[in-house]
Structure 1
């Protein structure tokens, strides 16, 4: 069986460019590094280094082995953390699933809060929109968007907390004829080219399409993508207009304005599903409390 430490040393030698430099970086003697590389060569049956002048040069086999070892070593690192978790009898990680604007605006404060309480904690954040992605772990906190007037969703094994009912806003180039209005009826955007930031039909996209249908039209798209930041840049470039939650427009590019949408107002409800787990209940409760604080503080700012 291959020794993970020797694979890590091989990667260090390749990164440093020589055995002597790798030895200095790792705090070993050059003789120890050479011995590990010779043992690895015997274990694999591969020629890992060839003489070149007064030094040595890695072979293609060594480079390929080092590349393939990267994910393996990362998995070993995670396994070591699991062992530490089991040995310590407490969670050393917190898994959060959320949408992109929540990750940008709220999650930094959540991470800071929970790590202040538990300094050795690793927080793993994965996006659950636009394609309902899955992280490496079952989430302890799952932050989701729902229609404000829709049925409440409850997940088995989780406690549901409502964080915020948030209005969506129209985003237009600053020189657009409608940019000077204090608010915009949704139907005023009917003839405009739209930037769709939800090509994969996540909940926020369905909320927007439902509101457009209620206003009597379907958007005509000039561009479709799956990132609200890129959508803002397209608006800035004058390609079209878009409709976004306030949370996603807290920092607008220059030359872009956001205006409230009325008739109908476009609203979403943001909820967090907190996993019921007695072992980490205090940690999850702290995270939920910080999320509530962020939502109450109006992290999105004015449109």
Structure 2
């Protein structure tokens, strides 16, 4: 059976570029790192490192093993934190996974609300978009985007709450000719250069791409990245246009304006999946209630 700790060490060696640097980063001796790598090679039956000159280099097998171990290492890290919590008397944590604009606009008030009732609580917030990121702990609250007309996803062990349905808007440089329009037809952006804020094709990116295909075009990207704030800055320089949810344009930088999209309107549904945990049911319920207030949704 593979030792997860040795997979952690392997990833550290590859990230550092050498055994000596990995040893310094992990506060191990180089000999201990070498022993872990020798044992891992024996466990897997793989050649992980080869001599090159006076040093060694990682093989393709080592790199593929490290890549495939990413999710396992993340799960192992979370398990170790659970053990540490239990050893320390079950320190109280609330883990929230969400997308960036929800973290900016909604989560501060959630943190304030739950800590007002439980001052020793530590709230950990991780981003689950793009590429379904993994936090340090299994999330107690998982806030996600869905297509407004799509299938309602259910997660095992969680209760699903719909928070809101919001429309997406076009975002343009202030000097753009379409700025004077009260609303913008999506097809009118078909010949424009675009700034993509979702290079990893997470749910919001899929919603935008699907809407564009429905009116007969595929966006022509001048720039692609994975952060809506940086995308807004690129739009402000005149590089292109973009389409974003209203939550993401609550605080627009100078140099850009937003306009409603029509023909068709493009919408997303925001939901939160709340972990069913009897021990921490009260704090989870308080967090969900505050999310409903922030999203303007009726009480559940």
TM-score (norm 2): 0.72
Give distance in 2, aligned partners of 1:296 and 1:84.
38
| Residue matched to 2:102 | 102
Whether 1:142 and 2:142 are equivalent positions in the alignment is yes
Structure 1 residues without counterparts, runs of 5 or longer:
1-62, 298-303
Give distance in 1, aligned partners of 2:27 and 2:279.
34
Q: Decide whether the 8 Å contact of 1:85 with 1:92 is kept in 2.
A: no
Secondary structure at the counterpart of residue 153 of structure 1: coil
| Residue matched to 1:240 | 240
Q: How does 1:1-303 map to 2 (within 5 A)?
A: 67-69=25-27, 81-86=85-90, 92-296=92-296
TM-score (norm 1): 0.71
CA RMSD of aligned residues (A): 2.2
Q: Decide whether the 8 Å contact of 2:237 with 2:255 is kept in 1.
A: no
Q: Decide whether the 8 Å contact of 2:161 with 2:273 is kept in 1.
A: yes
Distance 1:64 1:202, change over 3 A: closer
Q: CA deviation at 1:284?
A: 0.3
Give distance in 2, aligned partners of 1:103 and 1:222.
27
Q: Decide whether the 8 Å contact of 2:196 with 2:242 is kept in 1.
A: yes
Q: Decide whether the 8 Å contact of 1:146 with 1:269 is kept in 2.
A: yes
The structure with the larger Rg is 1
| Residue matched to 1:50 | none
Q: CA deviation at 1:215?
A: 1.1
Q: Decide whether the 8 Å contact of 1:197 with 1:227 is kept in 2.
A: yes
Give distance in 2, aligned partners of 1:108 and 1:160.
21
Structure 2 residues without counterparts, runs of 5 or longer:
1-20, 29-76
Give distance in 1, aligned partners of 2:117 and 2:27.
34
Secondary structure at the counterpart of residue 161 of structure 1: strand
Give distance in 1, aligned partners of 2:190 and 2:81.
53
Secondary structure at the counterpart of residue 96 of structure 2: strand
Q: Decide whether the 8 Å contact of 2:97 with 2:142 is kept in 1.
A: yes
- Deviation track 1:77-101 (CA, whole Å, cap 9, x = no partner) reads 9866543333xxxx60000000010
